[in-house]
């Protein structure tokens, strides 16, 4: 297994290194989880730990170590003097280790709450993340916080290492129950690949070698897993984005545009367009010191020369003609604030995006997220380590993609124009604010700044104890006549009869009163949904279970509702029936009136209905009876701990 | 690996080139610190690659203590000529004229005057606002947390608690007049990566890295070369030993190791078996716990 002690020749080693790729991983957690011990163990066991580092380590262990007679691997990782004195790790540290199959860069992030920014820094360049859970402690608040941050930063692969299995006698039940707890929680995250491993970093179980103490676990040990996991497919090879970084002009005959491919594949001879000018030309050559290339892909650093003399400079971008990024002066983004001086509405900052730095004004803070509960709450500023959603107005247009589609062209940093410090990292959202929707936002914001939110002294927990139920919102979405209202009212009756306190918020009823000023355009629908979500959230705050029945055809609107209500207590239920079935059920002839054009913007006919991608439950009303649908919903509520299991 | 996948070395190379270009685009007067060592050789090659087919648009700066090995001076002259890059040499002439040396002044004081002070003077004198250095994060414990862009105040000092967060590959190069940064394009390289790169790219390095019979004395467990006049202690006897240098510094303070490795391949094979990290032959690092960090706070690289 280990590389260094095997006697191979340098040539073989070089050949091996040539075949290897580089995987960047981030580990998040506190000293107590045994994270440093795990990393120390990786370095030590893979024999990249050099002997003199080891000897000074043994010396250190005697002096300050907390691991008794064994080598305190953690001392290896706590670099700075101040940190060693306090016994905590306060900054991201980078470690390097290799196995015969791969080279790894570990960004080792401290885990305390006040160091959210470190976790974000470490995760920003990582493809894979490792979170440690102390087997004796289980899933903690900080485990959830870290997972959320990793999800926010677009990490696709997460390894949950349940550590210190030796302290729980290597029992399978402990591991299984932690795994279930985490899966329950992680359904609300956007991390597609989560892998669970029982280990003991201190004793070496399942780190490099398969543990003999846990024969019940038949998965690969930690290192083997890291060596084999596929991470390359995460890169975006589709959308060509070549931000010009530097213009190389040795003489009047040559003009080359140097830069690093952000995404997509650049080919010699390909037609490209320069942004912002929109002028078109072809790639004449892709130059490197080692010769011309036929094609280049991310993250290669190359120099491009073009067929025509275009006036291109640093900050411009080359793209394909039929695949262009968004261009605009307004951005909606999630930001993680990293400085003691808070972000305030109306403030101006510099933002650096790819190779451009421009001025941006904070138009509004839509909300901030409590990273412990994942609830969103109104905010007028973002302080150190706060995560919030903001709208920015830029002083010149920017070419960008949503972060979810492109981690390079969707990311930016926020710089204070006076101190020059990096204040925040930003991730651009898919939702584009336009000038029309921004003004009401600002008006509301202005009104809201004069209002000081009051807080009830009764907590959610106290209410839950009184009502014997957890407040939650069941959001039924689906085509008109798919069966939403029927299910909503039957679910309400069922829950009520079981002794709970449910309340239906029906889309049609809403339009008779609270929303009687709204029509059916996309903007009006958004506003209607915002109001429904606000009412649902109010009912939740009062301790009730809200049942919302609303077509809510747009994914982004439903996502907003989920954010407003709080992802932890939001259940999206897709009431699904084929269009023909819905039309058949339509006694009010809504569908035929929509088809004849009498009703405009009718979802499913003359306006889109975007099916949910991540609904918690799908109810197929063409096949399953309303009673069965209700039973399924009740079962889900029990499973989620909202109501008691019988 | 799939077709659109970079090998480890190519990925590191691309990252380094990206950093070198970014700094050059955003700073007015960058300079590349050139120590003549193997990491400098690699960094110089990366700079050539970054601006090809154009020339490197900044000078190299060598902070010379006057106590480097003769072969290092010869190599420096050769590289300057072969690459055509402007080379600036700076020495603390005042201290050199007053005879500062590690034997009488101690290694710490000598380093402060001839290296740290000289470097700060050179950077200030040249009004350089960005200086590339060849340091790697895998070299030493305190370097594991070093940023790629390391900010210094107007006195060139490093404050470990006040470094800017570095996210993605978006580097914040905004700075006030008088402030400067140290940039480490090789941050993510390991010692093996450096040797592998030297091997595949056929990068010239100072011959001192290769084993040869050399006149040495043994002092505090280190082999000290007699390349230049060295005051001998009474019980010391010069011997000829087959040895080489793992890192290059000043001749009184850089120990050689016994070795037969006279090619890059053999050096790497030796590395795999010896496994004693490279900075251990530098006398200065062992002064006190955290000594590298103390030096860095003062402005040392």
The answer to whether residue A57 scores a pLDDT higher than 60 is: no
Lowest mean pLDDT among A11-15, A256-260, A328-332, B58-62: A11-15
Whether residue B284 has pLDDT greater than 50:
no
Q: What is the pLDDT of residues B157-194, one digit of tens each?
A: 776 666 788 999 999 998 887 788 899 999 999 888 89
A residues 90-109 lying closer than 8 A (beta carbon) to B: 91-96, 98, 103, 105
A587 within a domain of the structure (yes/no): yes
Q: A453 in a domain, yes or no? A: no
Q: Which two tokens stand for residue B17?
A: 């080139």
Strands (E), A199-325: 242-243, 246-251, 254-260, 266-267, 271-275, 280-288, 291-293, 295-296, 301-306, 317-319
Q: Which two tokens stand for residue A150?
A: 């990793």
Domain CATH for A268:
2.40.30.10
Phi, psi of B86 (to 5 degrees): -65, 130
- Using the Cβ of A80 and the Cβ atoms of chain B, whether some distance falls under 8 Å is answered with yes
Decide if A276 contacts A270 (C-beta within 8 A). Answer: no
Confidence band for A442, pLDDT divided at 50, 70 and 90: low
> A33-37, A488-492, B117-121, B145-149: lowest mean pLDDT where?
A33-37
pLDDT at A7: 59
Task: Give tens-digit pLDDT for A1-51.
Answer: 334 444 567 787 788 777 888 889 998 876 667 777 888 777 776 655 444
On chain A, the residues whose CB falls within 8 A of the CB of B17 are: 260, 301
In the prediction, which pLDDT does A450 show?
Answer: 56
What secondary structure letter does DSSP report for A148?
A: H
* ipTM of this complex: 0.87
Lowest mean pLDDT among A272-276, B190-194, B294-298: B294-298
Contact with chain A for residue B11, Cβ under 8 A: yes
Whether residue B14 and residue A300 make contact (CB cut-off 8 A), yes or no, is yes
Residue A258 sits in which domain range? 242-320
Q: What residues contact A110, with CB distance under 8 A and at least 6 apart?
A: A30, A31, A88, A89, A90, A91, A92, A118
φ, ψ for residue A190, nearest 5 deg: -110, 55
The length of chain A is 646
CB contact under 8 A, B275 and A47: yes
List the single residue in B with minimal CA-CA distance to A80.
Answer: B142
Instruction: Indicate if A45 and A105 belong to the same structural domain.
Output: yes
**Residues A375, A474 share a domain:** no
Which CATH number covers residue A540?
A: 3.40.50.300
Q: Say if CB B298 and CB B157 are below 8 A apart.
A: yes
Does A460 reside within a domain?
A: no
A216 and A350 housed in the same domain: no
Measuring CA to CA, how many Å separate A189 from each of A65, A154, A192? Answer: 37, 10, 9
In Å, what is the CA distance from B114 to each residue of A134, B90, B250?
50, 10, 10
N- to C-terminal Cα distance for chain A?
52
Within 124-163 of A, beta carbons closer than 8 Å to B belong to 124-125
Give the percent of chain A with pLDDT over 90: 43
Q: Count up the domains in chain A and report the number.
A: 4
Looking at the predicted structure, is the pLDDT value of residue A470 above 50?
Answer: yes
- Domain assignment present for residue A173? The answer is yes
Closest approach of B49 to chain A, Cα-based (Å): 5
What is the pLDDT, as a whole number, of residue A230?
A: 82
Q: Are A216 and A282 in the same domain?
A: no
The pTM (predicted TM-score) of the whole model is 0.73
Interface test with A, best of B167, B280, B298 (most A CBs within 10 A): B167
Provide the token pair at A607. Answer: 């306006």
Mean pLDDT of chain A: 84
pLDDT category of residue B231 using cuts at 50, 70 and 90:
confident
Contact A18 B11 (CB under 8 A): no
**Nearest CA-CA distance, residue A76 and chain B, Å:** 8
Residue A420 φ/ψ region, left for φ over 0, alpha for ψ in the -120 to 50 degree band, beta for the rest: left
Q: Does B137 touch chain A (CB under 8 A)?
A: yes
Same domain, A219 and A293: no
- Judged against a pLDDT cut of 50, whether residue A585 lies above it is answered with yes
- Provide the chain A residues 220-239 that lie in CB contact (below 8 A) with chain B: 232, 235, 237
Q: Are A121 and B166 a contacting pair at CB < 8 A?
A: yes
Asked if A65 and A98 sit in the same domain, the reply is yes
Peptide bond into A211 cis (omega under 30): no
**CA A567 and chain centroid, separation:** 13
A21 close to B (CB below 8 A): yes
Q: Give the mean model confidence (pLDDT) for residues A163-178.
A: 94
Looking at the structure, tell me whether residues A510 and A387 fall in a common domain: no
A408–B169 CB contact, under 8 Å = yes
Please, which pLDDT band fits residue A315 given cuts at 50, 70 and 90?
very high
> Which pair of structure tokens corresponds to residue A160?
């949950």
Name the domain boundary from A287, A305, A320.
Answer: A320
Residue range B33-54, pLDDT digits in tens:
999 999 999 999 999 999 999 9
> Which residue of chain A has the CA closest to B296?
A80
Q: Residue A52: its pLDDT value, please? A: 42
Most confident of A52-66, A115-129, B224-238: A115-129
Least confident of A353-362, A432-441, B132-141: A432-441
Q: How far is B55 from chain A (nearest CA, A)?
A: 7
Residues A124 and A147 in one domain: yes
Distance from CA of A3 to the nearest CA of B (A): 9
How much is the pLDDT for A53?
A: 43
Is A399 found in the same domain as A358?
yes
CA nearest A105 in B: which residue? B188
Mean pLDDT over A469-486 rounds to 93
A202 and A297 fall within a common domain: no
Residue A462, in any domain of the structure: no
Chain A residue closest in CA terms to B177 = A420
Residues of B in contact with A357 (CB under 8 A): 174
| Strands, sheet with A157-163, edge to edge from the N-terminal-most edge strand | A93-98, A102-110, A21-29, A128-134, A157-163, A193-198
Instruction: Identify all chain A residues contacting B51, using CB atoms and an 8 Å cutoff.
Output: 248, 258
Per-residue pLDDT tens digits for A61-104:
444 444 444 555 555 555 444 454 544 446 788 888 888 788 88
Give the list of residues 6+ apart from residue B20 with CB closer than 8 angstroms, or none: B46, B47, B50, B132, B183, B185
Contact between B296 and B158 (Cβ < 8 Å) = yes
Q: Which of A320, A343, A360 finishes a domain?
A: A320
In this predicted model, what pLDDT tens digit does every residue of A616-631 receive, in sequence order? 999 999 899 999 999 9
Give residue A432's pLDDT: 65
Domain co-membership, A141 together with A252: no
- Measuring CA to CA, which residue among A289, A560, A254 is closest to residue B56? A289
Q: Specify the pLDDT at position B21.
A: 97
Is A250 in contact with B54 (Cβ distance < 8 A)?
yes
What pLDDT is recorded for position A445? Answer: 52
Distance CA A543, CA A537 (A): 10
For residue range A503-560, list pLDDT tens digits in order.
999 888 888 888 888 877 777 888 889 899 999 999 999 999 999 999 998 888 888 8
Q: Please compute the mean of the pLDDT values over residues A283-310 and round it to a whole number.
A: 93
Residues A83 and A218 in one domain: yes
Domain-terminating residue out of A300, A320, A340: A320
Q: Is the pLDDT of residue B120 over 80?
A: yes
β-partners of residue A349 are A360
User: Which of B6, B8, B200, B274 to mutate: most A Cβ within 10 Å?
Assistant: B8
Size of interface A-B (CB pairs under 8 A): 211
Inside any domain, residue A445? no
- The per-residue pLDDT for range B121-144, each reduced to its tens digit, is 898 899 999 999 998 988 776 677
- Which residues of chain B are within 8 Å of residue A118 when distances are taken between CB atoms? 165
Residues of B in contact with A411 (CB under 8 A): 167-168, 170
- Could A250 and B21 be called an inter-chain contact, meaning their C-beta atoms sit closer than 8 Å? no
For the purposes of burial, counting CB atoms within 10 Å of the CB of A54, is it exposed (0-12), middle (13-18) or buried (19 or more)?
Answer: middle
In a domain, A461, yes or no: no
Distance CA(A126)–CA(A159), nearest Å, equals 13
Structure tokens at A416: 């204070």
The predicted pLDDT at position A437 comes to 53
Within a domain: A452: no
Residues A22, B11: C-beta atoms closer than 8 Å: yes
């Amino acid at each position: 297994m280990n590389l260094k002690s095997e006697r191979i020749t340098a040539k073989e080693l070089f050949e091996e290194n040539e075949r290897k790729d580089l995987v960047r991983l981030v580990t998040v957690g506190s000293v107590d989880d045994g994270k440093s011990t795990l990393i120390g163990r990786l370095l030590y066991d893979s024999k990249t730990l050099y002997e003199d580092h080891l000897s000074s380590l043994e010396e250190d262990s005697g002096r300050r170590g907390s691991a008794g007679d064994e080598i305190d691997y953690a001392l290896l990782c706590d670099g700075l003097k101040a940190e060693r004195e306090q016994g905590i790790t306060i900054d991201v540290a980078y470690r390097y280790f290799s196995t015969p199959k791969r080279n790894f860069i570990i960004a080792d992030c401290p885990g305390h709450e006040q160091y959210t920014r470190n976790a974000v820094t470490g995760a920003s360049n990582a493809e894979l993340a490792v979170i440690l859970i102390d087997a004796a402690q289980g899933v903690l608040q900080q485990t959830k916080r870290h997972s959320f941050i990793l999800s926010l930063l677009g990490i696709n692969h997460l390894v949950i290492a349940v550590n210190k299995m030796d302290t729980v006698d290597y029992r399978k039940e402990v591991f299984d129950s932690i795994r279930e707890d985490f899966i329950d929680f992680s359904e609300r995250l956007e991390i597609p690949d989560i892998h669970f491993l029982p280990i003991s970093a201190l004793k070496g179980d399942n780190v490099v070698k398969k543990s003999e103490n846990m024969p019940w676990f038949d998965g690969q040990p930690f290192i083997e897993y890291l060596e084999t996991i596929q991470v390359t497919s995460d890169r975006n090879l589709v959308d060509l984005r070549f931000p010009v970084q530097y213009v190389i002009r040795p003489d009047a005959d040559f003009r080359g545009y140097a830069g690093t491919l952000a995404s997509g594949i650049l080919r010699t001879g390909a037609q490209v367009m320069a942004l912002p000018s929109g002028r078109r030309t072809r790639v004449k050559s892709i130059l490197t010191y080692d010769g011309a290339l036929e094609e280049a892909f991310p993250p290669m650093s190359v120099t491009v020369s073009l067929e025509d003399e275009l006036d291109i400079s640093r900050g411009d971008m080359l793209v394909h003609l039929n695949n262009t990024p968004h261009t605009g002066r307004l951005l909606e983004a999630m930001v993680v604030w990293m400085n003691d001086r808070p972000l305030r509405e109306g403030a101006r900052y510099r933002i650096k995006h790819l190779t451009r730095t421009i001025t941006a004004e904070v138009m509004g803070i839509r909300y901030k997220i409590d990273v412990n509960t994942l609830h969103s709450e109104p905010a007028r500023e973002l302080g150190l380590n706060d995560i919030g959603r903001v709208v920015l107005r830029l002083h010149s247009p920017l070419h960008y993609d949503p972060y979810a589609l492109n981690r390079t062209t969707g990311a930016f940093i926020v710089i204070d124009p006076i101190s020059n410090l990096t204040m925040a990292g930003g991730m651009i959202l898919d939702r584009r604010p336009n000038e029309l929707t921004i003004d009401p936002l600002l008006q509301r914001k202005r009104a809201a700044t004069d209002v000081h939110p009051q807080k009830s002294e009764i907590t959610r927990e106290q209410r839950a104890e009184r009502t014997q139920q957890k407040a939650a919102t069941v959001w039924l979405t689906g085509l008109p006549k798919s069966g939403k209202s029927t299910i909503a009212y039957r679910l309400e009756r069922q829950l009520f009869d079981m002794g709970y306190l449910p309340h239906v918020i029906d889309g049609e009823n809403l339009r008779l009163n609270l929303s009687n000023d709204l029509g059916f355009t996309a903007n009006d629908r958004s506003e209607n949904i915002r109001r429904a979500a606000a009412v649902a959230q109010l009912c939740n705050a009062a301790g009730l279970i809200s049942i919302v029945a609303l077509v809510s055809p747009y994914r982004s609107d439903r996502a907003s509702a989920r954010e407003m209500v709080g992802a932890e207590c939001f259940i999206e239920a897709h009431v699904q029936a084929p269009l023909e079935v819905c039309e058949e059920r339509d006694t009010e002839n809504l569908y035929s009136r929509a088809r004849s054009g009498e009703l405009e913007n009718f979802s499913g006919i003359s306006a889109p209905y975007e099916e949910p991608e991540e609904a918690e439950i799908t109810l197929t009303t063409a096949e399953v009876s309303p009673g069965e649908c209700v039973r399924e919903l009740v079962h889900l509520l029990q499973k989620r701990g909202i109501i008691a299991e019988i | 690996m799939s077709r659109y996948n970079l090998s480890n070395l190519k990925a590191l190379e691309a990252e380094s080139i990206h950093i070198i270009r970014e700094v050059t685009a955003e700073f007015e007067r960058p300079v590349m610190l050139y120590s003549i060592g193997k990491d400098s050789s690699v960094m110089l090659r990366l700079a050539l690659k970054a601006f090809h087919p154009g020339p490197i648009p900044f000078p190299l700066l060598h902070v010379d203590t006057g106590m480097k090995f003769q072969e290092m001076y010869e190599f420096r002259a050769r590289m300057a000529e072969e690459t055509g890059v402007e080379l600036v040499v700076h020495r603390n002439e005042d201290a050199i004229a007053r005879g500062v040396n590690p034997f009488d002044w101690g290694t710490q004081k000598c380093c402060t005057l001839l290296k740290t002070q000289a470097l700060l003077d050179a950077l200030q004198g040249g009004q350089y606002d960005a200086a590339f250095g060849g340091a790697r994060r895998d070299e030493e414990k305190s370097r594991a947390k070093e940023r790629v862009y390391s900010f210094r105040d107007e006195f060139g000092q490093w404050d470990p608690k006040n470094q800017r967060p570095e996210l993605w590959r978006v580097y914040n190069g905004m700075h006030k007049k008088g402030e400067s940064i140290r940039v480490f394009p090789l941050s993510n390289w390991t010692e093996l990566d450096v040797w592998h790169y030297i091997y595949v790219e056929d990068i010239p390095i100072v011959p001192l890295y290769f084993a040869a019979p050399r006149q040495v004395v043994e002092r505090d467990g280190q082999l000290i070369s007699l390349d230049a006049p060295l005051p001998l202690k009474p019980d010391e006897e010069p011997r000829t030993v087959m040895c080489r240098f793992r890192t290059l510094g000043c001749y009184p303070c850089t120990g050689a190791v016994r070795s037969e490795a006279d090619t890059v391949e053999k050096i790497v094979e030796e590395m795999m078996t010896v496994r004693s990290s490279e900075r251990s032959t530098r006398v200065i690092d062992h002064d006190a716990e955290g000594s590298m960090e103390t030096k860095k706070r003062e402005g040392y690289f």
